[in-house]
Chain A
Amino acid sequence: EAGVAQSPRYKIIEKRQSVAFWCNPISGHATLYWYQQILGQGPKLLIQFQNNGVVDDSQLPKDRFSAERLKGVDSTLKIQPAKLEDSAVYLCASSWDRGNTGELFFGEGSRLTVL
């Protein structure tokens, strides 16, 4: 079974530039999550999708971050314009059970460095 795929693995940009990350969840997983992991901290949920609908985006900085999951499968997370404090690893995860058991399957992450 293929795992959660993310790209790119690494990205370096200057502040005020834009960046986009892509995620393809495990086949059949209806729930998709984007987490932000800042160095030295635990992952923090940015947004959760159930199919192509948003379930929770309460911690997404909506003035600069956006995410979509148009066909209920893969998803894109965009940052525009980026700030220095956005330097982090962006983790995509998926689950099969609407998250009821809390068991998530994570991708390897996309590491963003903002200079």
Chain B
Amino acid sequence: AQSVTQLGSHVSVSEGALVLLRCNYSSSVPPYLFWYVQYPNQGLQLLLKYTSAATLVKGINGFEAEFKKSETSFHLTKPSAHMSDAAEYFCAVKGSSNTGKLIFGQGTTLQVKP
């Protein structure tokens, strides 16, 4: 069965610093992996997705993630944090069926300090 684990429920960085949010997955089939972002009082928004093409995936707002099969990881990075990046970030894996079901991690809250 598919699952994801996000390491660290809270991450705090200074504005301009590197952002690194960690995600490890478990999948019995080649995975489809996603990062979603949730701003306060808003719904989830797709940040980027990996669907077995390039292993380095670029998303919106300067975020990118690298798929590493050997490490079963899909960590999210951004070179320079901005105050507007403060939000909750969810890693997700698509279920093995064709139903489109997403299995989410528990989320990581990103705090950006001035």
Spell out A's residues near B (CB within 8 Å). Answer: 3-4, 31, 33, 40-45, 48, 55-56, 91, 93, 95, 97-109
Contact = CB atoms under 8 A, between A and B. Distances in A.
B102 A100 contact: no
B41 interface: yes
A42 B106 contact: yes
B101 A103 contact: no
Contacts of B104: 42-44
Contact of B101 (A4, A56, A101): A56
Contacts of A56: 97, 99, 101
Given A43-B90, A102-B34, A107 B98 contact: no
A60 to B, nearest CB: 13
Given A43-B90, A109-B43, A101 B98 contact: no
Contacts of B34: 102-103
A42 B36 CA distance: 11
A92 B99 CA distance: 16
A106 B45 contact: yes
Interface in B7-58: 9, 32, 34, 36, 41-46, 49, 51
A87 B112 CA distance: 29
Contact of A102 (B43, B94, B105): B94
B106 A41 contact: yes
Among B9, B43, B92, B97: residue with most chain A CB under 10 A: B43
A42 B100 contact: no
B32 A108 contact: no
A42 B98 contact: no
Interface string B62-94: 000000000000000000000000000010101
B106 A48 contact: no
Contacts of B105: 42
